[in-house]
Amino acid sequence: MSSPDFHLLLPAKAENVLVVRQAVAGLGEAIGLPEQRIDDLKTVVTEACNNVVLHAYDQRPGPLAVTAEAGEDEVAVVVADRGRGFEPRPSGAGEASLGLGLPLIAALSDSFEISGGAGEGTRTSIRFGYAPPVGRDNGTPGIERIEETLSMQLAPGAAVRPVLARVLGAMASRADLPVDRLADSVLLGDAVSSHAPADFAEGQVAVSIKDGDRALDVRVGPLIEGGGERILAQMEIPGGGSLRKLARSMEVTKGVASDGSSAEFLVFEIAT
């Protein structure tokens, strides 16, 4: 089983659906999908995420997990939650989302299926293209964690740069950062992407982003020993400058990887 091109984990909130939409658009761009197909992908993923935001947690906080994997002939997307599963209930006034959302997914994707049950959470698995089905036994890594940050893991490849750039751009935009800071956040994302994935401890580019009022806190890693310093070195510009000056602060810290081992992280803040 290959790993997905990206795995996004973020709070299931209405304002986060746009971020997921940008991530899949970045992947679509990276694999050269035609513009209309990128639009379709955005719609399909939006509708699947809407179902999570509207129905999974009954107004309580909970995680939304999205994985996407581009194969030779298809993109496989899984949108998952840890919510209460589908339950029969009347829809509220004006709440037409579930009525139109699933038909949109059905019409624009090659196939989709919804699995899960009461108390198990729900997975919507969507496929574009006509390749034979792939298994879905890889679980949804990290979904047990509920955090107020966005975290993503990107498999090495052409999608890293556009997906990371678009997600950073969307988060910076939402944090109300001015245009020059937006550009800075994308440049710093590119600096991280260009280094990928040699120095990442788990073989995947891993980035967490927390957005605040006019600020983004970005945590890159887990990295292998010395990885943080090597990324910093790559940010040096001939003549004495450094891209690190684009961040308000940037440092290499020690932390804990998901398997409990100690690892390095590069943390930086982009702010007005």
Partner 1 sequence: MGSNQGIPGSVRTGEIALERTEAGLPVLAIKGEHDLSTAPVLRQQLHSLIAEGVPIVVDLSSATFVDSSILGVILDARRRAEAEGRGFAVSHANGADPVGRVLDITGLRSELPVHAARELAETAAVGNPSGKSPA
| Least Å from the CB of residue 209 to partner 1 | 12
Strand pairing class (236-237; 121-128) = unpaired
Q: From residue 130, give the alpha-carbon distance in Å to each of 4, 29, 76, 109, 151.
A: 18, 19, 11, 10, 30
* Of 18, 54, 30, residue with least CA distance to 150: 18
Going across the sheet that includes 75-81, the strands are 111-117, 121-128, 75-81, 63-70, 6-11, 150-154, 205-212, 215-223, 262-271, 249-256
Q: Which of 108, 266 has the CB closer to partner 1? A: 108
Residue ranges in contact with partner 1 by CB under 8 A: 14-15, 17-18, 21-22, 25-26, 36, 39-40, 42-43, 46-47, 50, 53-54, 93-97, 99-101, 103-104, 107-108, 162, 165-170, 172-174, 179, 182-183, 186
Cβ partners under 8 Å of residue 113, min gap 6: 124, 125
Phi first, then psi, for residue 213 (nearest 5°) are -80, 110
| Least Å from the CB of residue 21 to partner 1 | 8
| Least Å from the CB of residue 22 to partner 1 | 4
Residue 14 CB neighbour total at 10 angstroms: 10
Q: Which of 14, 237 has the CB closer to partner 1? A: 14
Long-range contacts of the stretch 253-260 (C-beta < 8 A, 24+): 253/228, 255/221, 255/222, 256/222, 257/201, 257/202, 257/221, 257/222, 258/142, 258/202, 258/222
Q: Which of 39, 110 has the CB closer to partner 1? A: 39
Q: Which of 26, 197 has the CB closer to partner 1? A: 26
| Least Å from the CB of residue 221 to partner 1 | 22
Q: Which of 1, 93 has the CB closer to partner 1? A: 93
Kindly state the tokens that stand for 27.
């992947």
Q: Which of 182, 201 has the CB closer to partner 1? A: 182
| Least Å from the CB of residue 168 to partner 1 | 7
| Least Å from the CB of residue 74 to partner 1 | 20
Q: Which of 108, 246 has the CB closer to partner 1? A: 108
| Least Å from the CB of residue 10 to partner 1 | 14
* CA separation for the pair 19, 31 (Å, rounded): 19
